């Protein structure tokens, strides 16, 4: 095969006036071939025809039209799915080794005839103009507080120009969590950006078709800080790309720091928050120059923060409960039938009656849950012990496992009604006097192996503990051992061995 270099050498020899035969010989080709290249004046690579024909039969030719319709209609279909479909429809026609052929064929079709792909447009960021935020779940980090799983989210806020960031712990993607997180972030930042962008959070963005793009509460929050709200399109997380990338990098840093720490358990939530703060200071330390530029452009903060709670009015039901955000909470039975105001914060509720705080209740996470406090309804249960056995929220009537053990023991020796009456008497003592002291009384009775643990036994032990006749946490005394005993023991063993031998 003649190469381009041979053809160039031939051309050079001919241009120098050499004869065709001599030039062909020096170029390493026969005279007939040299005559062809002299006539065309082209290199071998220029004469080579493009390879446009198949060297093998296309195994998918008869089914290609069906395949083309499938990938045109559903662009997300993968070649493997289509291949498996063909194998099911025509058993024995296609072998596993032909999958790669189909993948290449579909790949070429998509690149030459398929729908246009989405183009990513790099954005120019300007100091002080845009901030972004989003929630990210942290359960995959395996963090525990006091050895108990700590299921939580982080509200993650960043400035897109400097990448300055901060986070807030929260437990749901509620408006209260969003408001708390956003306000904490900009007050920590010390100024207000021109715009703030979120994804299509239901707490901030109205559903499609609503004439108002943002919810009233979110609009009020943004208006308070004179910030222009922005949102990304539905199912387009790349449009919130800076904070999405920051999620990934931040969580990776958390994971690495936890590995270095050697433990994912923290003594308290405060310890965990301190751990996060230290991480954020380190991550933001390399952004000082850029953030100082941003701070010069940020707008001034308002005089005060906006309250991060909503107020709802509720009538207390005959069950002595209220329904807040699809969760049920109990209140004191004295409020049955009364109208109360409930301030719903991110992590707790405040029940207001007659302009006074009646209850402060931890807010439940999720929906369809309940929090019933036995102290709120114990008086009615004492009067109606028959209602206890099938009470819908009966499990909430056992403050500790010891209380449950007492009730189960009573059921073994009494009728259901009498067992309930005895147990409710004990529960009433805990409600009116001291739950911890009653729990201690039960613990001691269980520890001493008392055969009968009823209301009288618990009350007697409770009274003894009140009078300090019994220690609540008995001390265990271990007698000090004299090391000389071991020397004497070894000496006696040695003497016995000698006498035997």
Residues linked to residue 197 through DSSP beta bridges, in sequence order: 132, 230
Range scoring the smallest mean pLDDT among 74-83, 225-234, 284-293: 225-234
Which of the four pLDDT bands, split at 50, 70 and 90, describes residue 383? very high
pLDDT band at 232 (very low <50, low <70, confident <90, very high): confident
As a whole number of angstroms, the distance between CA 154 and CA 177 comes to 9
What are the pLDDT digits (tens) for 152-161?
A: 999 999 999 9
Please answer whether residues 175 and 112 qualify as being in contact, where contact means their C-beta atoms are separated by less than 8 angstroms: no
pLDDT band with cut points at 50, 70 and 90 for residue 476: very low
Distances (CA, A) of 490 to 146, 494, 499: 46, 6, 14
Torsion of CA 229, 234, 235, 236, to 10 degrees: -50
d(CA 45, CA 183): 69
Q: Are residues 220 and 185 in the same domain?
A: yes
Token reading at 335: 């409020």
Q: Which two tokens stand for residue 106?
A: 């579909």
Give helix 416-432 / helix 435-447 axis angle, nearest 10°.
Answer: 130
Helix and strand totals (H; E) in the chain: 18, 15
Estimate the crossing angle of helix 31-40 against helix 20-27, to 10 degrees. Answer: 100
Q: Are residues 412 and 275 in the same domain?
A: no
Q: Is residue 157 domain-shared with residue 287, that is, in the same domain? A: yes
Distance, in Å, from the CA atom of 12 to the CA atom of 23, rounded to the nearest integer, reads 9
Residue that finishes a domain, picked among 371, 387, 403: 371
pLDDT tens-place string over residues 244-279: 677 788 899 999 999 999 999 999 999 999 999 999
Residue 9 has pLDDT above 50, yes or no: yes
The CA-to-CA distance between both ends of the chain, in Å, stands at 101
Residue 489 lies in a domain: no
* CA separation, residue 223 to residues 204, 228, 345 (Å): 13, 8, 20
Residue 214 has pLDDT above 70, yes or no: yes
CA distance 241 to 248: 11
Helix or strand run (H / E) with residue 155 = strand 153-159
Last residue of a domain, one of 342, 371, 400: 371
Beta bridge partners of 315: 339
pLDDT of residue 354: 92
Q: Are strands 228-231 and 195-198 parallel, antiparallel or unpaired?
A: parallel
Alpha helices in 41-174 (DSSP H): 44-47, 64-73, 79-89, 99-112
What percent of the chain clears pLDDT 90, i.e. is strictly above it? 62
Q: Please give the Cα distance from 403 to 423 (Å, whole number).
A: 8
**292 and 326 in a common domain:** no
166 and 90 inside one domain: no
**Angle 201-205-206 from CA coordinates, rounded to 5°:** 125
**CA–CA distance, 2 with 10 (Å, rounded to integer):** 11
* 334 lies in the same domain as 407: no
In a 3-state reduction of DSSP, which class is residue 451?
coil
The answer to whether position 125 is within a domain reads no
495 lies in a domain?
no
Beta strands in 185-309 (DSSP E): 195-198, 228-231, 265-266
* Stretch 86-94: mean pLDDT: 91
Confidence band for 300, pLDDT divided at 50, 70 and 90: very high
246 lies in the same domain as 336: no
| Residues 208 and 289 reside in one and the same domain | yes
Helices within 262-363 (DSSP H only) = 269-285, 288-297
Residue 472 located in a structural domain = no
Distance CA 414, CA 183 (A): 58
Same domain, yes or no, for 231 and 88? Answer: no
More confident residue, 47 or 99: 99
For residue 488, pLDDT beyond 70:
no
Show the CA angle centred on residue 31, arms to residues 25 and 32, nearest 5°: 155
In a domain, 493, yes or no: no
Average model confidence (pLDDT) for the chain? Answer: 87
In a domain, 122, yes or no: no
Q: Sign of dihedral through CA atoms 353, 359, 360, 364?
A: negative
> Are residues 134 and 278 located together in one domain of the fold?
yes
Same domain, 163 and 255: yes
362: containing domain: 310-371
Joined together, the tokens standing for residue 439 give 């729990």
Model confidence at 356, pLDDT cuts 50, 70, 90, reads: very high
pLDDT > 50? residue 500? no
Q: Are 247 and 156 in contact (CB under 8 A)?
A: yes
Q: What is the pLDDT of residue 424?
A: 96
* Helix (H), strand (E) at residue 429: helix 416-432
Percent of the chain predicted with pLDDT > 70: 89
Domain count, the chain: 5
Domain for residue 477, yes or no?
A: no
Q: Residue 435's closest CA among 378, 495, 477?
A: 378
**How many residues make up the chain in this entry?**
501
Domain assignment present for 325: yes
Among 265, 297, 329, which residue terminates a domain?
297
Residue that is written with structure tokens 């799915």 in the block: 81
Q: Are residues 184 and 327 in the same domain?
A: no
């Amino acid at each position: 095969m003649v190469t381009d270099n041979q053809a160039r050498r031939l051309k050079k020899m001919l241009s120098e006036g050499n004869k065709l035969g001599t030039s062909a010989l020096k170029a390493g080709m026969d005279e007939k071939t040299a005559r062809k290249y002299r006539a065309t004046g082209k290199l071998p690579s220029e004469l080579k025809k493009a390879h446009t024909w198949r060297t093998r039969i296309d195994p998918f030719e008869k089914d290609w039209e069906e395949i083309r319709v499938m990938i045109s209609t559903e662009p997300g279909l993968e070649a493997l799915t289509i291949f498996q479909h063909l194998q099911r429809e025509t058993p024995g026609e296609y072998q596993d080794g032909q999958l790669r052929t189909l993948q290449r064929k579909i790949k070429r079709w998509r690149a030459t005839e398929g729908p246009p792909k989405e183009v990513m447009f790099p954005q120019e960021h300007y100091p002080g103009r845009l901030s972004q935020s989003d929630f990210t779940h942290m359960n995959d980090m395996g963090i525990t507080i006091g050895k108990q799983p700590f299921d939580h989210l982080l509200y993650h806020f960043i400035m897109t120009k400097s990448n300055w960031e901060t986070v807030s712990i929260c437990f749901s993607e509620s408006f209260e969590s969003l408001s708390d997180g956003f306000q904490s972030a900009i007050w920590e930042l010390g100024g207000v950006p021109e715009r703030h962008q979120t994804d299509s959070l239901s707490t901030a963005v109205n559903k499609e078709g609503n004439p108002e793009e943002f919810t009233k509460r979110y609009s009020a929050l943004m208006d308070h800080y004179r910030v222009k709200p922005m949102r990304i399109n539905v199912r387009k997380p790349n449009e919130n790309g800076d904070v999405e990338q920051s999620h990934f990098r931040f969580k990776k840093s958390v994971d690495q720091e936890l590995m270095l720490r050697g433990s994912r358990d923290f003594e308290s939530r405060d310890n965990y928050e301190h751990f996060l703060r230290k991480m954020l200071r380190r991550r933001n330390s390399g952004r000082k120059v850029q953030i100082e530029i941003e701070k010069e452009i940020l707008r001034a903060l308002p005089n005060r923060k906006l309250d991060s709670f909503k107020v709802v009015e509720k009538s207390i039901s005959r069950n002595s409960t209220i329904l807040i955000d699809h969760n049920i909470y109990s209140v004191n039975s004295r409020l049955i039938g009364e109208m109360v105001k409930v301030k719903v914060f991110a992590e707790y509720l405040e029940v207001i009656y007659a302009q006074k705080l009646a209850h402060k209740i931890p807010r439940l996470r999720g929906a369809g849950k309940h929090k019933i406090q036995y102290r709120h309804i114990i008086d009615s249960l004492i009067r109606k012990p028959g209602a206890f056995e099938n009470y819908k929220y009966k499990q909430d009537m056992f403050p500790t496992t010891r209380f449950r053990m007492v009730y189960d023991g009573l059921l073994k020796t009494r009728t259901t009604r009498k067992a309930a009456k005895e147990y409710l008497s004990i529960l009433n003592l805990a409600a009116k006097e001291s739950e911890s002291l009653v729990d201690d009384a039960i613990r001691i009775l269980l520890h001493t192996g008392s055969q009968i643990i009823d209301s009288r036994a618990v009350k007697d032990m409770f009274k003894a503990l009140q009078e300090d006749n019994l220690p609540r946490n008995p001390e265990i005394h271990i007698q000090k051992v004299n090391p000389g005993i071991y020397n004497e023991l070894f000496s006696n063993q040695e003497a016995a061995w000698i006498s035997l031998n």
